[in-house]
Amino acid sequence: MPNMKHIAKMAGVSLGTVSHVINNSARVSEPLRQRVLEAVDALHYQPSALARGLRRDKTNMIGMVIPDVTNPFFPAVVRGAEDTAFANGYRLVLCNTDNSHAKEMEHLEQLRTYLPAGLIIIPSSFGKLSEEVESFRRSGAAVVFLDRMPRNWKGDSVTVSNNDGAFRAVQYLIQLGHKRIACITGPLHLPNAQERLAGYKRGLKLAGIPILEDYVRKSTFDRVGGYNDALALLRLRNRPTAIFAQNDLMAMGTLLAIRELKLRCPQDVSVIGFDDLDVTELMDPPLASIRQPGYQLGSTAVQMLLDRVNVDEVRAAPGQHRVLGTELRIRESVAPPNATIGGKQPTR
């Protein structure tokens, strides 16, 4: 592969001049500039990102740490981040933590040694994380937390209005006449799960409906979790008439559990999710959900990160917490309790 020396020789100039031309770091006379550019073109020269990074103490990579690409909510986020990063000349290094603290830490330690320009992280644990994240900042990388963050985080973050979204979901169910409303939560050490739970409770409280312990099931943010905890809920003597699942994957598990028990959704049980994945409208029944702007979450995170890295006024500014809105999407998986749906055949 050609390097700067080759270019310099071919163009008959010094190394420094080549560098200056490539980086516009000093005025170079037009004839020399041209010769350099021609050589670059002729040899298909691309500067070594490694050497450059080593020298500059910073690369054009952005580390992105997420729990699991396989959860359909995250790809949209990743895509938003990737697009914005790419448009600005940055590259994304994707890391799956698989919800494991150990994996998360290992990824971070490794990532740091590449001197990325920044780090975007959807954390799945909060133990020694802050410490590790601190050393990213010390090494000059900008850090943005996405979707969730440690309690005491003072830096940049982008999240969604979890509490509000959950609140409105519950409010809508109540408005339909539901009183026995259950909630399947994500792992409660995750702030977003907590916030959604808080929103759920707020909704019930406001309507004067007592919060039953049995109706709150701590689960995992996946289909299996939703399935298992929905089964448990549906087997209660005092079965809920509506279930709010804290994400769509769990809502899907809930639908499966409802089928399993030969119940019907929404006639016997209403279900509402959170995320509003693309497939919700195609489901049986179409799943009501709280929409989260995944793509925007990712692209906003990268934008904030790059501003902090490149914009002088922002570099030293205090941490920004950006909160994006959520939106209730009503679909056929919710109905009044014990409703016979007018004009519609029961779905299977």
Partner DNA sequence: TTGTAAGCGTTATCAG
Partner DNA sequence: CTGATAACGCTTACAA
Q: Is 33 helix (H, G, I), strand (E, B) or coil?
A: helix
Is residue 46 exposed (0-12), middle (13-18) or buried (19+ Cβ within 10 Å)? exposed
**118 contacts 309 by C-beta, under 8 angstroms:** yes
Q: How far apart are CA 303 and CA 195, in angstroms?
A: 25
* Contact letters for a copy of itself, residues 60-89 (x by CB under 8 A): -x------xxx-x-xxx-xx--xx--x---
Q: How many CB atoms sit inside 10 A of residue 182's CB? A: 26
4 is a contact residue toward DNA (CB under 7 A) = yes
Q: How far apart are CA 150 and CA 153, in angstroms?
A: 5
29 is a contact residue toward DNA (CB under 7 A) = yes
DSSP state for residue 117 in the 8-state scheme:
S
The residues pairing with 271 across neighbouring beta strands, listed in sequence order, are 243
316 is a contact residue toward a copy of itself (CB under 8 A) = no
50 is a contact residue toward a copy of itself (CB under 8 A) = yes
C-beta of 28 vs 169, nearer to DNA:
28
Residue from 9, 34, 42, 54 that binds DNA (CB under 7 A)? 54
**120 contacts 107 by C-beta, under 8 angstroms:** no
Shortest CB 246 distance to a copy of itself, Å = 18
- The first and second tokens of residue 249, run together, are 């994957």
Shortest CB 89 distance to DNA, Å = 13
Q: What does 83 bind: a copy of itself, DNA, none (CB cut-off 5 to 8 Å by kind)?
A: a copy of itself
Closest to 78 in 3D by CA, of 88, 63, 89 = 63
Q: How far apart are CA 244 and CA 251, in angstroms?
A: 8
Residue from 48, 110, 135, 175 that binds DNA (CB under 7 A)? 48
Residue from 35, 223, 308, 331 that binds a copy of itself (CB under 8 A)? 223
Q: How far apart are CA 254 and CA 226, in angstroms?
A: 5
Q: How far apart are CA 140 and CA 121, in angstroms?
A: 16
Shortest CB 142 distance to a copy of itself, Å = 16
Shortest CB 132 distance to DNA, Å = 17
Single-letter amino acid code for the residue at 241? T
Closest to 120 in 3D by CA, of 61, 190, 65 = 65
* Contact letters for a copy of itself, residues 97-116 (x by CB under 8 A): -x----x---x-xxxxxxx-
Stretch that binds DNA, among 43-51, 167-175, 295-303, 335-343 (CB under 7 A): 43-51
91 is a contact residue toward DNA (CB under 7 A) = no
Stretch that binds DNA, among 3-11, 282-290, 303-311, 337-345 (CB under 7 A): 3-11
C-beta of 68 vs 307, nearer to a copy of itself:
68
Is residue 150 exposed (0-12), middle (13-18) or buried (19+ Cβ within 10 Å)? middle
Shortest CB 50 distance to a copy of itself, Å = 4
Shortest CB 234 distance to DNA, Å = 56
Residue 177 CB-half CA count within 13 A: 8
Q: Say if strands 327-329 and 288-291 run parallel, antiparallel, or are unpaired.
A: antiparallel
Query: Per CB under 8 A, which of residues 120..139 are in contact with a copy of itself?
Result: 135, 138-139
Could you list the residues that contact a copy of itself (CB under 8 A)? 1, 44, 46-51, 53-54, 59, 61, 68-70, 72, 74-76, 78-79, 82-83, 86, 91-96, 98, 103, 107, 109-115, 135, 138-139, 223, 252, 255-256, 278-279, 282-286, 344-348
Q: Which residues bind DNA (CB under 7 A)?
A: 1, 3-5, 12-20, 22-23, 25-29, 31-33, 45-48, 51-52, 54-57
